[in-house]
Amino acid sequence: MSAAVAETLRAQGIEALSATPAGGGASARMWHVILPAGEAVLRCPRAESGGMAIGAGAEARVLRAATAAGVPAPRVLAEVAGTGGLDAGYLMERLDGEALPGRLLRDEAYASARSTLVDEAAAALARIHAVQGDPGVPVLGAADQLDLLEGVHRSFGVPVPAFELALRWLARPRAGGGRAGPGPR
């Protein structure tokens, strides 16, 4: 599939020297892509219906809005149409770093990073909340979000007592009308 990914990118005008699979998890397939100008990551969110996914185009718009606001996030280089068995996605710059919490929390190599991590995360979160404009992402109210999350939970067919209790608590009426769920009050 890696050669097919590189060929798909080339067919869309992106000169990919190579593409190798990278860990993407259940929600997306990802490839490490070598371009003439450097390294990138192709992220192709799996097309889902009825889930929490917002789609590749919306993800790319969110990343563009975030980087424009100074959020430390990868720049989107291009959006990629889904073809030849490849879901639609986007090509973004590859950033160096560690994503595994265990390594960040325990490895001595990250001791200096741990000393600034909370401040850096807080600054990034403040920038995220300061993003202006509408990147075109579907926005759901609290009740709709809760209904969607409950539907996802119920789709597994296995009751989990902690989730059942949380859903019941969030669905209860609150002062001023509506439910006690997340979101503005």
| 31 lies in the same domain as 104 | yes
Cβ–Cβ < 8 Å for 12, 56: no
One domain, residues 160 and 125:
no
Mean pLDDT of 11-24: 86
pLDDT value of position 178 = 61
* 91 and 126 together in one domain: yes
Cα 62 to Cα 42, 112, 182, distances in angstroms:
16, 30, 21
pLDDT recorded at residue 51: 64
**Residue 123: pLDDT over 60:** yes
CATH number of the structural domain spanning residue 54: 3.30.200.20
Compare 6 and 17 and report the one with higher pLDDT.
17
Same domain, 17 and 88: yes
Task: Please check whether residues 96 and 157 belong to one and the same domain.
Answer: no
Q: Can you give the residue range of the structural domain that contains 117?
A: 1-138
Contact by Cβ (8 Å): 81, 11: no
pLDDT of residue 110: 92
What is the pLDDT, as a whole number, of residue 49?
60
What is the edge-to-edge ordering of all strands in the sheet holding 28-35?
Answer: 18-22, 28-35, 38-45, 89-93, 76-80
* 105, two tokens: 């929390």
DSSP per position, the chain: -HHHHHHHHHHTT---SEEEEE---SSEEEEEEEETTEEEEEEEEPP-SSSS---HHHHHHHHHHHHHTT-S-PPEEEEE---TTPPPEEEEE-------HHHHHH-GGGHHHHHHHHHHHHHHHHHHHT--S--S-----HHHHHHHHHHHHHHT----HHHHHHHHHHHSB-TTSSBS-SS--
The share of the chain scoring above pLDDT 90, in percent, equals 41
49 lies in the same domain as 93: yes
Q: What share of the chain has pLDDT > 70, as a percent?
A: 89
Judged on CB neighbours under 10 Å (0-12, 13-18, 19+), 182 is exposed
How many domains does the chain contain in total?
2
For the chain, give the mean pLDDT.
Answer: 85
160 and 120 part of one domain:
no
At 90-119, the pLDDT tens digits run 999 999 888 888 999 999 999 999 999 999
User: 14 and 38: one domain?
Assistant: yes
Strand partners, 81: none
126, pLDDT greater than 60: yes
Of 103, 119, 138, the residue that ends a domain is 138
Same domain? 134 vs 153 = no
Same domain, 132 and 165: no
Is 90 found in the same domain as 124?
yes
pLDDT tens digits for range 168-181: 888 887 656 665 55
Same domain, 39 and 122: yes
Report pLDDT digits (tens) over 58-96.
Answer: 899 999 999 999 999 999 999 998 887 788 899 999 998
